Amino acid sequence: MTFPLRLARVFLVVAGMLMLFESLLGLDYALDVGFGSLRALLSDFCLTMGFPIYLSGLSSLRGASASLWAFLILQWLNHGHVGFHVGIMLANPFDWLHGLFSFLSAILVSVSTWLLIRPQDGIVHVNMRTVFE
């Protein structure tokens, strides 16, 4: 086992734990938000879907990396739209745990993808199943 593969495994495990904690914390927050409107459903989606999006790496690490970055942007826009003001007010995405965990997970999965996609001994790992074999 090469050093980049071991490092990618560690990064993917840490990213998975961060996203799992974010999703479990989001389940608790979603109960407070409720399910009464489309806006509340979008907020609940942004609070709870981190880990399932991370698990899309079972089929493609590139897809999981792109999805996590898109999810971070969606969370950021949703977080900026919360409140009684009209329109979107872009806030700091790192002032709450969900934004910080999503950002760190997106970076870790992207670096892992880069480590595994670059050619090394003719073996290219493209999904989590082959990384953790």
Lowest mean per-residue pLDDT among 21-25, 69-73, 96-100, 112-116: 96-100
Q: Is it the case that residue 4 has pLDDT exceeding 90?
A: no
Distances (CA, A) of 26 to 45, 89, 94: 9, 22, 16
3-state secondary structure of 93: coil
pLDDT band at residue 123 under the 50/70/90 scheme: low
Domain boundaries, the chain: 3-131
pLDDT band at residue 89 under the 50/70/90 scheme: confident
Which ranges in the chain belong to alpha helices (H)?
3-33, 38-48, 50-54, 61-80, 97-117, 128-131
